[in-house]
Structure 1
Amino acid sequence: MSDIQTPPPVAVTLVSGPTGSGSIDDFELFYARRALDRFRVRLGRQGLLDLLAADIEEGNAFLRESAIASGGSFKAGTTVLTTRGLTSGAFLAWMDKAFSGDEKALLTAHPEHYVMTPGPDGAFNVVENIGPHVCSFFMGGWGTDAMAWAVDADELLPESEFPHKMSSNLFLPDGTVVGRALTQFGDTADGFTASLTVYVPTACPQDVLEHHLRHYAVEFRNWIIAAATVRA
């Protein structure tokens, strides 16, 4: 048996100094967001696209190859969030307004949001990370027009409990369907529950799905807080 002992992890505690509330992690998050916003503003949308062009080409190739290898089959994962103090109707009204042209509100919800803007033919262009890959894809047909594939989905929840439903295909500029999204919202006694399902090609590594479930948690939490702030 080895007598070598693993040293305890280093712990740092803030004792005094800053007068504002929050932890060191809170301070770091504030400064990271401020720095990121500066780069987004300075570069602008086209600047970001130019900077990420090679990453997008590689990421889209990964999604396309995964979709082809999967033969049109997808695997699903769902993130569930609960909210107090805000109704689903108030949140979705804020979302409708944001997706109608408030790109800044959409971008600031996640560090790996690069472009979120209306595209041609009513589709919505998103440039963000899918797992470790930076990808540019479109979301089309939010609302009942795109629910045909979702009516038989295992993740579909009862209409009586989750009356607000939105679904979409996620597709590349060449039309290749590389994913799907199904979001469902239902009010509770003191707020609402959001059930957020993403579908990725079955050939994708499991960590791609796992990271998008985390992505959902971050972006929707921040969108909900933004909606509540405006309402207040």
Structure 2
Amino acid sequence: MTDSPNSATAAVTLVSGPAGTGSIDDFELFYARRALGRFRARLGRQGLLDLLAADIDEGNAFLRESARASDGGYTGGTTVLSTQGLGAGEFVAWMDKAFADENVLLAAQPEHYLMVGQANGSVHVVENVGPHICSFYLGDWAAEAMAWADDADELLPKADFPYKKATNLFLADGTIVGRVLIQFGETDDGFTSSLTVYLPASCPQDVLDHHLRHFAVEFRNWITAAAAARA
């Protein structure tokens, strides 16, 4: 079984039967989300952590060794999304509030297992980094607090992308294992999202590629949730 979401498959078309609109993919997504939500609710936060403990130990060992081998070097990649019907300022305001609601954060991506704000302003995250389930923290989201962001090649002009957030990703022992720089700019009918992740340079390319897809899924879902909340 391949790990790629683009595996070749036979073409199947829904001709008739179910009431309402939507494709078979839409139906599957609905049922998958419902099943996942049930398991999360039944297991609870600590139950999930206990279930994934061995995976987390392995994933964090991978990140820690990758950071050591990379000696401070990072490789970055960027996912760009175009949104119509919602403004960047509206979305950023919604997102700032959403980070206080773990249910909203978890619902955005099937491989979100825990996203909990901490008293010091960081966020504890358990999610996949490529095939690895990892437990790490997002630091201060304020771009001005991150000197590295000012020198990033991916930094876009503030006139076009006025909404910027940046943070380090670090393990519980303080080891920095990545960075994130997200930027949002208004367009005539919505906004553009520039979502950059930096992983230790020694990480395989497919780990970075997976996280770029991860970004596409979670931010698409957060954006549609923000639009739904406004309606």
The TM-score normalised by the length of structure 1 is 0.94
SS of 1:121's equivalent?
Answer: coil
Q: Which residue of 2 aligns with 1:201?
A: 200
Q: Which residue of 1 aligns with 2:167?
A: 168
1:174-204, Cα deviation, whole Å (9 max, x unpaired): 0000000000001001100000000000000
Q: Which residue of 2 aligns with 1:222?
A: 221
Letter in 2 for 1:155: E
1:67-97, Cα deviation, whole Å (9 max, x unpaired): 0000010000000001011011111111011
| Cα shift at 1:16 | 1.7
Letter in 2 for 1:92: V
CA distance in 2, matches of 1:199, 1:11: 36
Over the aligned positions, Cα root-mean-square deviation in angstroms equals: 1.2
SS of 1:90's equivalent?
Answer: helix
CA distance in 2, matches of 1:66, 1:144: 25
Q: Which residue of 2 aligns with 1:177?
A: 176
CA distance in 1, matches of 2:150, 2:15: 55
CA distance in 2, matches of 1:87, 1:29: 26
Paired residue total: 224
| Cα shift at 1:13 | 2.6
Q: Which residue of 2 aligns with 1:4?
A: none
Asked whether 1:155 is paired with 2:154, we answer yes
Report matched runs for 1:1-232 at 5 Å. 10-99=10-99, 101-232=100-231
CA distance in 2, matches of 1:85, 1:148: 33
- The unaligned stretches of length 5 or more in structure 1 are 1-8
CA distance in 2, matches of 1:69, 1:76: 16
| Cα shift at 1:121 | 2.1
| Cα shift at 1:120 | 4.5
| Cα shift at 1:50 | 0.6
Q: Which residue of 1 aligns with 2:5?
A: none
The TM-score normalised by the length of structure 2 is 0.94
1:110-131, Cα deviation, whole Å (9 max, x unpaired): 0000000112422111100000
1:131-183, Cα deviation, whole Å (9 max, x unpaired): 00000000101113432111111000001000111000000000000000000
CA contact (8 A) 2:69 2:202 kept: yes
SS of 1:217's equivalent?
Answer: helix
CA distance in 2, matches of 1:197, 1:97: 21
Structure with greater Cα Rg:
1
Q: Which residue of 2 aligns with 1:3?
A: none
CA distance in 2, matches of 1:144, 1:205: 27
1:184-227, Cα deviation, whole Å (9 max, x unpaired): 00100110000000000000000000000000000000000000
Letter in 2 for 1:180: R
CA distance in 2, matches of 1:89, 1:222: 17
CA distance in 2, matches of 1:79, 1:145: 22
| Cα shift at 1:11 | 3.4
CA distance in 2, matches of 1:157, 1:222: 24
CA contact (8 A) 2:143 2:167 kept: no
